Amino acid sequence: MYIHLGADITVDSGEIVGIFDLERTSVQKSVNGYLSACQKAGKIYYVSLDMPKSFIVCSEMVYVSNVSANTLRKRWKEGEKGIIHSAIQ
């Protein structure tokens, strides 16, 4: 299952480690340090030039998206339900 992160970017849902609200988490020093280290390592991809609302940590990359974390989490969970449902049938 793939999750649409915004613009023309989709990622395999199995690669997602976590989806975070940028406004709520960016005030934490540890999060800022992590994002800064990812930026320096070239592991951050900005999905859109619009105001960022969330960041998505994947196994190889961190995506910064203008789609809210709640919307992305719903897409992720709906995808998991679809996979479970199709496995049962």
Ordered by start, the domain boundaries in the chain are 2-88
Alpha-carbon span 39 to 22, nearest angstrom: 15
Rounded Cα–Cα distance for residues 30 and 83 (Å): 34
Q: For 60-79, what is each residue's pLDDT tens digit? A: 999 999 999 999 999 888 87
How many C-beta neighbours within 10 Å does residue 47 have?
20
The confidence score (pLDDT) of residue 77 equals: 85
Digit-coded pLDDT (tens) for 10-60: 999 999 999 999 999 988 999 999 999 999 999 999 999 999 999 999 999
pTM for the complete prediction?
A: 0.86
Cα→Cα distances 61→24, 25, 27, 38, 39, Å? 21, 18, 21, 8, 10
Q: Report the percentage of the chain scoring pLDDT > 90.
A: 76
If residue 62 lies in a helix (H) or strand (E), which one and from where to where? strand 62-65
